[in-house]
Structure 1
Amino acid sequence: MTRDSSHTALLWIVAAGFFMQSLDTTIVNTALPSIARSLHVAPLAMQPIVVAYTLTMAMLTPASGWLADRFGTRRVYFAAILIFVIGSVCCASAHTLGQLVIARVLQGVGGSMLLPIGRLAVLRSVSGEQYVSALAFISVAGQLGPIAGPTLGGWLVEAITWHWIFLINVPIGAAGLYAVQRFLPSHGERQAPPFDFIGCGLLSLCMIAFSLAIDAPAPTHQAAWSAALFALAAVSALAYIPHARRRRNPLFKLSLFGEPNFSVGLIGNLVCRIGSSAVPFLVPLLLQLELGYTPLHSGLMMLPAALAGTIVKRWIASLVRRFGYDLFLLVNTLVVGSSIVGFALITRGTPLFVEIVILAVFGAANSMQFAAMNSVTLKDLSHEDAGSGNSLFSMVQMLAIGLGVSIGGGLVKLFSAQWGSAALGFRLSFVCVGAITLMSAWVFRHLDTAPRVRAPASQGVGR
C-alpha cells in the first residue's frame, strides 16, 4: 500500500470512529419516550442514560493520551472500538433502566478514547502541512453525527425497534476493527510519564458529586443530600490545587489558568453549554409528549438546527475578524440564549414555519458560538500547554452536556409537579436554561482582547 493510500485509510478509520461517537451523543434523544415505554419508566426519568455516557467520557478523556503512549496507539484504538461495540450490544440487551445506564457507562469508556486517540494517530502519521486538512476531513464526520442522529433515531424506532439505535454501531464497529488491524500504523509503546491517578480521581469525584447533587438522587431529604454532594464536589476540586502544586506532572497544570482567556473561555463554555445542551434533550420530548409528534417527525424537526449550523460555519472567521471575539461572543450569546427562550413559545397552535425558524436560528447561532468559544479559549495557550489545555477543555465540554440534561430534565419535573402542567413545565424550563446561557454573556465580557505575541496552539477537532 502506498503512503498516500495508507494516510487515506487512516483518515477514514478515525472519521468513522468520530462519527460513531458523535452519532451516539444525539441518536438517543428522539428515542427516549419509546425506550421509556419499553422499560416502564417515565420519559423524564431517562436523563441518566445521557448523563452516564457524557460523564464517563469526561472522566476518562484525560487518560487517553497516556494510554496510547503506554500501550500503543493501534492497540488502544482497537480496544476503544471493541469496548464501544460491546457497550452498544449491552445497551440493546438492557431490560431495566439500571442495566441501560450501566451499559451506557461501558459505551462511554470506549467513546472517551475514540476521538482523542484517533486525532493522536493522525498527528503522528501525517506531516505538519497536511495536518490541518486531515483534521478538517475528520471534523466533517463529527458534523454528520448530529445531523443524522435525531432523524435516524426516530426512523429506527418507528421502522424497527429502539434497540437498533445501538445495534447500528455493530456493523460500523466490526468494519472499524478490521480496518484498524489492517491499516492503522503501529506506533509502538513508549516510556510514558507516570499518570496522575490521584488528580484524575479527585476531578472525577468532583464531576460525579456535582452531577448527582443536581439530580438530587435521594427520594427523601433531597436538600440535605444535594448540599452534601455539592460540598464533596467543592472539597475534591480544592484538594486538587495543593496536589497539582506538589506533583511534577499533574493531570492539568495550574499554570493553564494564568492565561486569562483560557480561564474566561472555560467558564463561559461551561455556563453557555449548560443551556444549549439541554435543548437537544428537551425539544424531542416536548414535540413527542406535548405536541403529539411521532419519533421520526420529531427527529426531522431537528434537521433545520443541524443544517443551519453547518451552513454558517464558513462565516465565523470573517465575523470574528471584523468584530473581535468579545463583541461577537457578547451579541451571539444573546441570540443563542434568546432562541432557547423562544422554544417556550412553541405550542400545539404554533405554525410549523415558526418552529422551523426558531430551530434554525438556534442551530446557526449555537454552531457559531461553539466555534468561537473553542477558538478564544485555546488560541493563546503555549505549545507546551496546548495538549493539557485541550484535554481539560474537552472534559468541561462533556461535563456541560451532562449538566445541561440534568438541569433541563430536573426543571421540567420540578415545574410540572409545582404547577400541575407538563406543558407549562417545559415552557418555564426553556426560559430558565435560556437565562443560564444568557449569563455567559457577562462572562465573555471579561475576555482580554489585547494582541498576543505567543504562537497559537492547535485547536483540535470537535465542538
Structure 2
Amino acid sequence: MRDGIVPAANGVAQTPEQDPVEPPSRNYRTVALIIACAMFMENLDATVLATALPTMARDFGVRAPEMSIALTSYLLALAVFIPASGTMADRFGAKRVFRLAIVLFMCGSLACGLSPTLPMMAAARFLQGIGGAMMMPVGRLVLLRSVAKRDMVSAMSWLIMPALIGPIVGPPVGGFIVTYLDWRWIFWLNLPIGVLGVILVGRFIADVRETEAHPFDPMGFVLSGIALGCLLFGFEMASRSGGGTVAAPLVAIGLVAGAFYLRHARHAAHPILDLSLLRVPTFRLSVMGGSLTRITQGAQPFLLPLMMQIGFGMSAAQSGLITVATAIGSFGMKGVARRILRRFGFRSSLIVIGISSACSYALCGLFRPGWPVAGMFAVLVVSGFLMSFQFTAYNTIAYDEIDKRRMSVATSFYATFQQLMLSLGICIAALVLHLSMLARGHTRPAFPDFTTAFFVVTAISLFAFFVNRRFAPDAGAEMSGRG
C-alpha cells in the first residue's frame, strides 16, 4: 500500500517507501475472529431486542406498538453514520475508530439497561446505533487492510458469520432472558464482550491507515442521511401492521433526497458515498448480485420464526431450536468455501450455488406439520450453508479490483447497500404476506400465505443468476487460489 503504513510480520511498521506487495496475514484468523465477535454482539442484540419489546413496554408503562421507537432510532443512526465511517477511518485510523465503535456500543448498551423511560431508551439506542454503524464497515476495512488476497476467502468466511447467525439465535436467547432473567440483561451482556473486544483489538490489530485523508463531505452527509434514514425507516414501518400510511411518505422523501444526493455526488470531488466505485466491474456485480440475494436473507429470519410460531404453534424457544439449523449450516461452510472457489472459481460457484440456495429457501415455504422435524432441520442446514457461501463469495470478490486507497469508501458504500437490502427484504416479505392474506380472506397468516411470501422473496434472489453470469471467468483468481 503506497499511501499508508503497513505492519510487518514481526510487528514493526514498514514505511510507504518499502511498499510491500501485500500485508502479512499470519494472524488473519485472529483478526477476523475478533471483528466477527464484535459484529455478532451487534447482530444478536438487534434480534434479541425484538423478542423483549412486549415486556419492556409493560415496564415502561406504554403500549407495545410505541416501543417501535427503540428499533427505529437504532436504524436511523445506522442510516446516518454508516456512510461517514470510511472518511472517519481514513482520518483517524481504522483501528482507533473500530475500538471507539465498540466503546460507543458498550456505552449505549449500558444506558439502555439503565433507562427508566422510553425516551431515554430511544436516545440510548441511537448512541448504540452510532457504534453499530461504525463497527460493520470499519471492521471489514480493518480486515481488508490486514489480510493478503490469498487469505481473503478464509477470513471473510469468519466475518460473515455474525450477520447470518445473529438473527437465527436471537429469538431463543431473547426468550430465555425475558423468561428467566430481566430484559435489561439483553444490554448488560454486551459489556464483558465489549471490554474483551477493546483489549483484543489493542493487542492483535495493527493501526493501518491512509496518510492523506479526503476532506469531509457535509452536504453529502446530510443528503445521504435523510435519504437512507427515510428509506430504512419507511421499509421498517411498511413491515408492520398499519404502518403503510407512514411508510409511503417516508419512502417518497427518501427517494427525493436520494435524487438530490445523486446530483450532488456527480459534482463533489470526494462524495461520502462514491458512486464511481460502480465503474469497477467486480464491485458493481457484487453489489447487484449481493443486493438481490440479501432480500432473501433479510426476509428469512422474519418469515421462518413467524411460521413456526403461528402455523406450527411453537413457542419462541421451540422455533429457535429449529431455526438454529441455519447457523449450523453457516459454520459448516467456513471450512470448505475456499476449496470450492479454488476448484470452480467465483463465477461458476456463484451461478450454481445461487440457484441452489434460492431453491432451498423456497422449500421452506412448503414446511407443514406433517414434515418430520429432522427433515426441516436438514433443509435449514443446507440453506444456511449455501447462503453463507454466497455472502462469503460476494463480500470477497467485491474488493478484488478496488485500489487500496479506496478501500475505506468502498466498505462504507457496500455496508450501506447491505443494510438497505436487508430492511427491504423484511418489507417485501411482510407486504406479500399481507397481500396474500387479503386475497384469501385470512385474518391471520396461514400456510399458503407463508408459501407465497417465501416463493416471492426467493424468486427475487434468483435474478442474481443473470448478474453472476456477467462475472469474468477468471474474476478473483488470486483470491480463490486459481491464479
TM-score class, shorter-chain normalisation, is 0.7 to 0.9
Which of 373, 377, 393 is residue 394 of structure 2 equivalent to? 373
Which of 159, 166, 173 is residue 139 of structure 1 equivalent to? 159
Q: Which range is displaced more, 148-157 or 6-15?
A: 6-15
CA distance in 1, matches of 2:99, 2:348: 44
Structure 2 partner of 1:283: 304
The residue correspondences of 1:12-51 to structure 2 (distance < 5 A) are 15-16=33-34, 18-29=36-47, 32-39=50-57
Q: How many residues align?
A: 454
Q: Note the aligned Cα RMSD (angstroms).
A: 4.4
- 2:36, 2:161 within 8 Å by CA — same for their partners in 1? yes
Structure 1 partner of 2:374: 353
CA distance in 2, matches of 1:145, 1:212: 24
Shift in CA distance, 197/320, structure 1 to aligned 2, threshold 3 Å: same
Structure 2 partner of 1:407: 428
Q: Which runs of 5 or more residues in structure 2 are unaligned?
A: 1-8, 14-24
The CA deviation string for residues 379-402 of structure 1, in whole angstroms up to 9 with x for no partner, is 344445444333211211122222
- 2:73, 2:125 within 8 Å by CA — same for their partners in 1? yes
Which of 198, 204, 211 is residue 219 of structure 2 equivalent to? 198
Structure 1 partner of 2:327: 306
Shift in CA distance, 386/249, structure 1 to aligned 2, threshold 3 Å: same
Shift in CA distance, 308/36, structure 1 to aligned 2, threshold 3 Å: same
- 1:54, 1:401 within 8 Å by CA — same for their partners in 2? no
Post-superposition shift, 1:99?
5.7
The CA deviation string for residues 211-237 of structure 1, in whole angstroms up to 9 with x for no partner, is 3444359999956x6554444333322
Post-superposition shift, 1:307?
1.1
Structure 2 partner of 1:436: 457
Structure 2 partner of 1:66: 87
Amino acid at match of 2:159: S
- 1:150, 1:302 within 8 Å by CA — same for their partners in 2? no
Post-superposition shift, 1:280?
1.6
CA distance in 2, matches of 1:454, 1:141: 21
CA distance in 2, matches of 1:217, 1:134: 35
Shift in CA distance, 113/244, structure 1 to aligned 2, threshold 3 Å: same
Structure 2 partner of 1:344: 365
Which of 470, 477, 482 is residue 448 of structure 1 equivalent to? 470
Post-superposition shift, 1:441?
2.7
Post-superposition shift, 1:327?
4.7
CA distance in 1, matches of 2:152, 2:287: 24
Which of 104, 120, 133 is residue 83 of structure 1 equivalent to? 104
Amino acid at match of 1:139: L
Shift in CA distance, 310/102, structure 1 to aligned 2, threshold 3 Å: same
The CA deviation string for residues 264-306 of structure 1, in whole angstroms up to 9 with x for no partner, is 3312222221122121233233333443433333332222111
Structure 1 partner of 2:418: 397
Matched, 1:423 2:445: yes
Amino acid at match of 1:420: H
Post-superposition shift, 1:367?
1.0
Structure 1 partner of 2:316: 295
TM-score calculated relative to the size of structure 1 = 0.78
Post-superposition shift, 1:416?
5.1
Matched, 1:258 2:276: no
- 1:47, 1:405 within 8 Å by CA — same for their partners in 2? no
Structure 1 partner of 2:193: 172
The CA deviation string for residues 316-356 of structure 1, in whole angstroms up to 9 with x for no partner, is 34444555545543443333333333333334444212321
- Equivalent position SS for 1:270: helix
CA distance in 2, matches of 1:42, 1:332: 44
Shift in CA distance, 182/72, structure 1 to aligned 2, threshold 3 Å: same
Q: Which runs of 5 or more residues in structure 1 are unaligned?
A: 459-463
The CA deviation string for residues 158-188 of structure 1, in whole angstroms up to 9 with x for no partner, is 3323332221002222344566678876789
The CA deviation string for residues 361-412 of structure 1, in whole angstroms up to 9 with x for no partner, is 2212211221233344433444454443332112111222222233334544
Q: Which range is displaced more, 448-457 or 313-322?
A: 448-457
Post-superposition shift, 1:250?
1.8
CA distance in 2, matches of 1:410, 1:149: 23
CA distance in 2, matches of 1:450, 1:368: 19
TM-score calculated relative to the size of structure 2 = 0.75
Post-superposition shift, 1:110?
0.6
- Equivalent position SS for 1:194: coil
Post-superposition shift, 1:113?
1.9
CA distance in 2, matches of 1:372, 1:128: 16
CA distance in 2, matches of 1:143, 1:346: 24
Structure 2 partner of 1:461: none
Q: Which range is displaced more, 115-124 or 193-202?
A: 115-124
The CA deviation string for residues 394-434 of structure 1, in whole angstroms up to 9 with x for no partner, is 2111222222233334544565577334232x752453354
Structure 2 partner of 1:159: 180
Shift in CA distance, 410/251, structure 1 to aligned 2, threshold 3 Å: same
CA distance in 2, matches of 1:67, 1:158: 41
Amino acid at match of 1:21: M
- 2:110, 2:191 within 8 Å by CA — same for their partners in 1? yes
- Equivalent position SS for 2:283: helix
